[in-house]
Amino acid sequence: MSVWTDGSATSNGEERCVAGASWCAENGVSAYARLTGMIPNNNLAEVAAAVMALRSWQSTDLHVHTDSKFVLELVNRGLLAMERDGWPDLPVVGWAAPASPIVLYRHFLFLIRQHNSALTFSWVKGHSGDTMNKQADALAKKGVELDTHTLDILSLWTPSGWVDTAPVLNHQSLSHLTYCVVRDAVPDPLQGRKFTDFCAEWTAWIAEHFHVELDILTHFCSLWMANVPTGLKELLWKTSSGSLPLGHRWYGTEMSLPHVWAGCTAYDLTPLRDALLDHLPSLCPGDYRTLDFDKWPSPFWFPLIILKPLEKRLMVSKPQAALLRSSRAARESAIGNYLWYIWKQHMKETAVSNFLFIPRGHMAQMALALGIG
C-alpha cells in the first residue's frame, strides 16, 4: 500500500503555533488530525503524519511518500543516533522536559521496529503537482483549521523493550540527568492524594459548564507559563494541594481562596470586580466575554488562568479564536493581578492590626494594578 503523508503549521516556531498532520492512501482512505500536547512546529507535524500512517497500517506492506527530508533523515540515521546518545536534550527554547518531542521520536522508532511487513520511505517533492501530495497537504491544513480530530503527542505510549531509553552520561546535560533521577525516584505530586479531589472536581465542572472534557493533570503545567505574578502561581499550587497556610481572620467563615476572592459578607468586592470586567472586553473580541465572572464561579478559579487548552475547544469563529490567542497574555495578566491584589490586601489585614480592607477605597490602586488608565 502506498500512502502520502504531510504536515502543516501556522505561526511556525512561535508559541501560538497550530499544526496539523495527515496521510492519504492510494485506495482513497485518509486521515487528518490537529496536534496537541505541546508547542508544535512544521517538522514535528511531518513526523506526526508518518506516525499516524504507521499506526493505521501496521500489518501491511507499506510505502510511505513524504516531502519532508527531516523525516527521511530520522528514518535513515537520526532516530538511531538519538537512541545511541541517550535521547539528549533538544536545543529548542520553551520545551520543558515533560513536553519534549522525544516522546514522538521514540514512538516513531517503535512503530518502525514493530511494523511486521515490508516498510519503505521515499521522498516526493512538495508542491510539484503530485496529486496525492496535494491531497495530503490539503488534509494537513484541514487539521490546522479544525479540531474535530486531534492527536495528543504526549499521550503516545511506547511499550518497554522496543526502544532503549537509558540516558548516556556524556551526552546529557546536568539538568536533564537531574530530571531523569527525579522522574524515576519521586512520585508525581499531581498523582498524590492531596490533588485527587481538586482534579476530579475541576474536570467535572469544566465538563458541566462547557461540555469540554479536559483532564487537569494534562494542563496543570500551563500554570507555570501563565502571565501572572510569581507569588500567585505558588498560591494556586498550594491551594490545589490543600497545603495553603491562611491568616487568622475570616469573619465567621473558613478562610479559603474562594472566600477571599469571591468576597465574604464583610466585603463588597463589586467595584473591583466591575473594574476588571469593564477592562476585559477591551482584551477580548467584541462582546465575547470568555472571562465573565458570572461564568467562572469562585470555587474553580483555575480556568481563569489556564485558558490555553480551553479556548481552542470553545465554539467560536476562527477570527475570534485568533484574537483570543493573541490577547491571552494580556487577559492572564489582568486576572492574575486582580486575584493577587485582593489576596495581598487580605493578608495585610491579618498582619496589620489597624488596617481594614475596604474595596471601594482601592479603585485607583486596582486600576493601576490592572494597567488601566
Q: Answer yes or no: is 181 within a domain.
A: no
pLDDT at residue 99 in the model: 58
Verify that 199 and 147 share a domain, yes or no: no
Q: Answer yes or no: is 352 within a domain.
A: yes
Q: Facing residues of 30 across strands?
A: 24
- Choose among 70, 74, 76: nearest CA to 46: 70
Q: Answer yes or no: is 161 within a domain.
A: no
Dist. CA 117–CA 177, nearest whole Å: 37
- Choose among 43, 3, 38, 1: nearest CA to 22: 3
Verify that 34 and 89 share a domain, yes or no: yes
Q: Answer yes or no: is 297 within a domain.
A: yes
Verify that 245 and 134 share a domain, yes or no: no
Verify that 212 and 311 share a domain, yes or no: yes
Verify that 133 and 225 share a domain, yes or no: no
Q: What is the pLDDT of residues 232-253, one digit of tens each?
A: 888 888 888 777 766 555 555 5
Burial zone of 317 (CB within 10 Å; 0-12 exposed, 13-18 middle, 19+ buried) = exposed
pLDDT at residue 95 in the model: 41
Q: What is the pLDDT of residues 124-161, one digit of tens each?
A: 998 888 899 999 999 999 999 988 889 989 889 899 88
pLDDT at residue 92 in the model: 43
Dist. CA 82–CA 73, nearest whole Å: 12
Verify that 257 and 353 share a domain, yes or no: yes
Q: Facing residues of 66 across strands?
A: 5, 123
pLDDT at residue 22 in the model: 96
pLDDT at residue 342 in the model: 86
- Please, which residues have CB within 8 angstroms of residue 169's CB and are 6 or more apart in sequence? 86, 177
Verify that 124 and 38 share a domain, yes or no: yes
Please say which residue of 155, 174, 199 terminates a domain: 155
Q: Answer yes or no: is 107 within a domain.
A: yes
Q: Answer yes or no: is 316 within a domain.
A: yes
Residue 335: domain span: 190-370
| 3-state SS class at 32 | strand
Q: Facing residues of 34 across strands?
A: 20, 150
CATH of the domain at 46: 3.30.420.10
Sign of CA dihedral 195, 290, 296, 279: positive
Please say which residue of 132, 155, 178 terminates a domain: 155
Q: Answer yes or no: is 165 within a domain.
A: no
**H helix intervals, the chain:** 42-56, 69-73, 79-84, 102-114, 131-145, 174-185, 193-210, 216-219, 230-240, 257-262, 270-279, 302-305, 308-311, 318-326, 328-351, 363-370
Q: Answer yes or no: is 113 within a domain.
A: yes
Which residues in the chain come in under a pLDDT of 50? 91-98, 287, 293, 297
pLDDT at residue 186 in the model: 74
Dist. CA 212–CA 188, nearest whole Å: 25
Verify that 142 and 220 share a domain, yes or no: no
Verify that 67 and 216 share a domain, yes or no: no
Number of domains present in the structure of the chain:
2
pLDDT at residue 96 in the model: 41
pLDDT at residue 93 in the model: 38
Verify that 199 and 124 share a domain, yes or no: no
Verify that 45 and 121 share a domain, yes or no: yes
Verify that 199 and 142 share a domain, yes or no: no
Cell triple for 308: 490555553
